[in-house]
Amino acid sequence: MKIAPSVLTADFSNLKKELKSIENADYLHLDIMDGHFVPNISFGPAIAKEIEKNTELLLDVHLMVTDPFNWVEKFVFPKTKFITIHTEANKVSETISLIKKHQIGVGLSIKPATPVRDLLPYIKDAALVLVMTVEPGFGGQSFIMSSLDKVKDLVIIRKEMKLDFVIEVDGGINLETIALCRDAGVDIAVAGSYLFNQKDRIQGILSLR
């Protein structure tokens, strides 16, 4: 299991120290919110660039925005590994093409109420599929157990279609829920509140992994 801490709950007034405290993670997850697609605003490209400059980790950028096509190029950094967009957003196909143009891994995400079938028109282009295990927009929510059925469906789809995307989950991750995710077939878990509320985050990542 790979771990991608979400910096959404980090102390941004002490960014270098916060990033140092999770340096043994596999990726760094950046939640970008526009206040329209989700009812919250997080941070933009300037802060994301500052984060990128102060970490050795590859970035896993999650665009929770209505018009991702207009945002993609603002997050094309040397350390950007994935840019994830939602199938519920606008211009999905065009945005996928733009991400691929920059030779960055395409991530596709669905909200808890969105069925897996909505991914199918685009899934051959995906390097990563993110299943939201809480409603996107806020940290600290409880894990939605029915999300695990989507993970299991994606494992089957990946095998049947001979694809190689990784499966990621985001929301409500702790020691109990991550075990369920592992058993369902998850490859990467995004950890936010649970991890950043710990004194020893290095050990916290090791425990989750």
Query: What is the pLDDT at residue 39?
Result: 81
Nearest in space to 118 (alpha carbons), one of 99, 104, 132: 132
SS3 of residue 168 by DSSP: strand
pLDDT of 139: 64
Domains held by the chain: number: 1
- Identify whether 34 is a catalytic site residue: no
Give the whole-number percent of the chain exceeding pLDDT 90. Answer: 88
Annotated active-site residue in 26, 31, 34, 60? 31
60: annotated active-site residue: no
Confidence label for 41 from pLDDT (cuts 50, 70 and 90): confident
Provide the CATH number for the domain around residue 35: 3.20.20.70
- The model carries a pTM of 0.95
Domain that holds residue 38: 2-208
104-162 confidence digits (pLDDT tens): 999 999 999 999 999 999 999 999 999 999 988 766 678 999 999 999 999 999 999 99
Tokens of 150: 């989507």
For residue 12, is pLDDT > 90? Answer: no
Band (pLDDT 50/70/90 cuts) for residue 203 is: very high
Average of per-residue pLDDT across 28-40: 91
Question: Catalytic pick from 26, 34, 60, 170?
Answer: 170
Is pLDDT of 26 > 80?
Answer: yes
Answer whether 16's CB lies under 8 Å from 48's CB. no
Residues forming a β-bridge with 33:
64
Burial 161-192 (b: 16+ CB within 10 A, else e): eeeebbbbbbbbbbeebbebbeebbbbbbbbb
Per-residue model confidence (pLDDT) at position 47:
93
Give strand pairing partners of 190. 4, 170
